[in-house]
Structure 1
């Protein structure tokens, strides 16, 4: 088994087009992590600033989890693996999707180094489609609503972007039922 730093060095070598631009892979990994957050690829702002979830989405996610920034970033209990560690570019209607084979190449190697992970939070359709494959529901809303079907290993969520407030308004069960249970599951994992 390779070490985390060896894997990250290999990621940089394999993605030389980004490395030459001065871009670092966007991820947060710890061998002691109990919770792994898997989301979409980073946006351009995150890529340029080099910090994952240090924005309004991160504030909301930490609130949903019931943890502070120190626990999120500094405790070593939380790891974050986007489906692609680099900004994939802009498309006609927004950011391009994560590159197709990126997660299948790098996630298994990194997961091998994080043997204490007991909860994987799947944020958004890309992560849910990849990790839940044939057991996901017909759409993101139904997958999130059926979160109990994926416990104890996975917890699917909508992206915590403030832009999703309209989705939350149309799906009040998310705030009323899912988020309290999510906070409890996170607390249980972090305090076991």
Structure 2
């Protein structure tokens, strides 16, 4: 059993996750000690949780296009580690999915991240990941933070690729015209070095 299998087993066995284990859900975290790109996002969606495949939905298709990656590249843990703020689908909220559970990332991310010794680029998807990892350095709004993405390198904050963010993308065409292509370049550089 590898180190990430052991971490997933610890997460699944923890009493706070008994509901998910009883439902037959596995903690959705994917990584290798050799991962070069790290994606930290909100939490798995319903379809991802049910299939056990992260980003297995229209949001994932859009994300892979922004990253300039094929499915095979993206799902190779030697390339990409996927570490959400909560490893389980949190249920539906008022608009979209519910937020990740409080305290989950604080409890489990350190165990995962200390194993990721070869990461060259960390992509922070959405406000929850950005608040946690950028803290007071982030902008007053998500738009401000994403607009200044390169100033945070090797962390790179982006908007969530969800269909629910379509309005944001329409109001901020610079993201797909300028930021996404730059992100794809940074991903290629991280994978090549």
What residue number does 1:191 align with? Answer: 192
Separation in structure 1 between the aligned mates of residue 130 and residue 136 of structure 2, nearest angstrom? 10
**Aligned alpha-carbon RMSD (Å):** 1.4
1:78 offset after TM fit, Å? Answer: 0.3
TM-score when scaled to structure 2?
0.93
Say which SS state the counterpart of residue 22 (structure 1) adopts. Answer: coil
**Range with greater deviation from structure 2 (124-133 or 47-56):** 47-56
Does the C-alpha gap of structure 1 residues 75 and 41 become closer, same or farther in structure 2, counting only changes over 3 Å?
closer
Separation in structure 1 between the aligned mates of residue 94 and residue 166 of structure 2, nearest angstrom? 23
Q: Which stretches in structure 2 are left out of the alignment for 5+ residues?
A: none
How do 1:1-20 residues align onto structure 2 when only pairs under 5 Å count?
Answer: 3-14=3-14, 15-20=17-22
TM-score when scaled to structure 1?
0.94
Separation in structure 2 between the aligned mates of residue 93 and residue 8 of structure 1, nearest angstrom? 29
| Aligned length, in residue pairs | 190
The answer to whether structure 1 residue 169 and structure 2 residue 160 are counterparts is: no
Separation in structure 2 between the aligned mates of residue 12 and residue 181 of structure 1, nearest angstrom? 37
Does the C-alpha gap of structure 1 residues 188 and 137 become closer, same or farther in structure 2, counting only changes over 3 Å?
same
What residue number does 1:42 align with? Answer: 44
Q: Which stretches in structure 1 are left out of the alignment for 5+ residues?
A: none
Q: Tell me if structure 1 keeps the 8 A contact 2:8–2:29.
A: no
